Amino acid sequence: MDTPFKIPTVSTTKALQFARLFLLLLFFSSNYACKKKKEASLSFTLLNTPVTDKIKSLTCFTSSDSMFFCGGNREKNGFIYRSTDKGISWTIVLESSNFSFNKLYFKNSQLGFALGDELEIFKTINGGATWEHCQVLDTVAYNFRVVLRDINFLNDTTALIVGGDDFGNGIILKSENSGKTWHSVLTESHELRSLQCLNESTAFASGYGVLLKSTDGGISWQYQSVSDDFFTGIKITSNGTGLLCGYNGNLYKSTDAGASWNSRINGNSLLSSKRKHFTCIDCYNSETAVAMGENGYVLVSNDCGETWKISEIPNNTSIHSVLLVSSNLGWAVGDNGTLYSFEINE
């Protein structure tokens, strides 16, 4: 037998009306807050590159006109290009037919590293003219032969690398001979994306729902209190100012070299009018900071993360790496062979 339809009572009707009104207020207040956010003045210049695949990392030398970028498609192809005229022309210096390059890092003008898929590590000792393959000495389980994401040095000869795949299977590698050989010091259940070494004993590694800290040169690692995002980038300056960005839109700041973190930008919510997904962050001289991500989203700070202003990449290009070379100049690389120089006009 069918249940007869009941006409809502007055109290039920008022409750429904109140619920609709509450949702509308939340929606409009969210939109108003987004519109009210101050805008940053940035100018972008698109440079020609010889590739159409993703460019994942870029590095340059302030003392010369030399620049490098790397990229490719995972487990398909990879490349490293070099320019000696600040990006006007490019020459390929290393390529792969079965893995991509994800990160470039130069410790100085001669010693540099390129990180690839499946624990691939390459090293140059002549400023990027030639590259040699580096060995991972211990046997790593197959599920931890993952994409390597970031590298940093603890001191002149000791370095760390982090990596991971598909939100899990994180790994940390260590070298004690200037990157000639490597061994694993940690495998764990969270993908690791970014690394920051402060001195010969202290380092941070960020990733999927986790921020790790080591105080013994990378031998052991402890979980930190922040855990509500996929942390894709971490930077800590020499004066102890730290910034941490997440794929779900959170931005944190530390004023005590990472001992504690305070929220500066809240992450996405169901009512967010435009979702922000940060993929990278950089800062310069404890003042200027830039966070970039998917679909051209950009935030800029001139007080190193205390307050932020919004901007956009032309054509809503997704960015994979940003590099500040001064308080108002930087580079950004991303999808479809995109390379931008940019200037902060304030």
168 has a pLDDT exceeding 60? yes
35 has a pLDDT exceeding 80? no
217 has a pLDDT exceeding 80? yes
32 has a pLDDT exceeding 80? no
330 belongs to a structural domain? yes
pLDDT, mean of residues 126-139: 95
- Distance separating alpha carbons of residues 139 and 87, to the nearest angstrom: 40
99 belongs to a structural domain? no
pLDDT, mean of residues 206-216: 98
Q: Cα–Cα distances in Å, from 49 out to 69, 81, 209, 274?
A: 10, 9, 35, 30
At 10, the pLDDT band (50, 70, 90 cuts) reads very low
24 has a pLDDT exceeding 70? no
> For residue 191, what are its two tokens?
């993908």
pLDDT, mean of residues 204-218: 98
- Sorted by sequence, the CB contacts under 8 Å of residue 146 that are 6+ apart come out as 117, 118, 119, 163, 164, 165, 169, 170, 171, 191
Task: Tell me what pLDDT residue 37 has.
Answer: 62
285 belongs to a structural domain? yes
Task: Tell me what pLDDT residue 297 has.
Answer: 94
Task: Tell me what pLDDT residue 286 has.
Answer: 81
338 belongs to a structural domain? yes
Beta strands in 84-180 (DSSP E): 91-96, 101-106, 112-116, 121-124, 132-133, 135-136, 148-153, 159-165, 168-175
Task: Tell me what pLDDT residue 271 has.
Answer: 63
Task: Tell me what pLDDT residue 317 has.
Answer: 95
pLDDT, mean of residues 43-53: 97
Mean pLDDT across the chain: 90
Q: Please give the DSSP secondary-structure letter assigned to residue 286.
A: T
14 has a pLDDT exceeding 90? no
209 belongs to a structural domain? no
At 340, the pLDDT band (50, 70, 90 cuts) reads very high
Our count of domains for the chain comes to 1
21 has a pLDDT exceeding 90? no
Task: Tell me what pLDDT residue 1 has.
Answer: 44
pLDDT tens, residue by residue, 51-84: 999 999 999 987 789 999 999 999 899 999 999 9
At 304, the pLDDT band (50, 70, 90 cuts) reads confident
109 has a pLDDT exceeding 90? yes
262 belongs to a structural domain? yes
191 belongs to a structural domain? no
pLDDT, mean of residues 136-151: 94
271 belongs to a structural domain? yes
CATH number at residue 246: 2.130.10.10
Pairing of strands 135-136, 181-188: parallel
26 has a pLDDT exceeding 60? no
pLDDT tens, residue by residue, 179-193: 999 999 999 999 999
pLDDT top residue among 267 and 232: 232
At 268, the pLDDT band (50, 70, 90 cuts) reads confident
29 has a pLDDT exceeding 50? no
pLDDT, mean of residues 6-28: 46
- Sorted by sequence, the CB contacts under 8 Å of residue 70 that are 6+ apart come out as 55, 56, 57, 58, 78, 79, 80, 81, 101, 102, 103, 104, 114
274 has a pLDDT exceeding 90? no
6 has a pLDDT exceeding 90? no
Q: Which domain holds residue 250?
A: 237-346
Task: Tell me what pLDDT residue 275 has.
Answer: 81
333 has a pLDDT exceeding 90? yes
At 101, the pLDDT band (50, 70, 90 cuts) reads very high
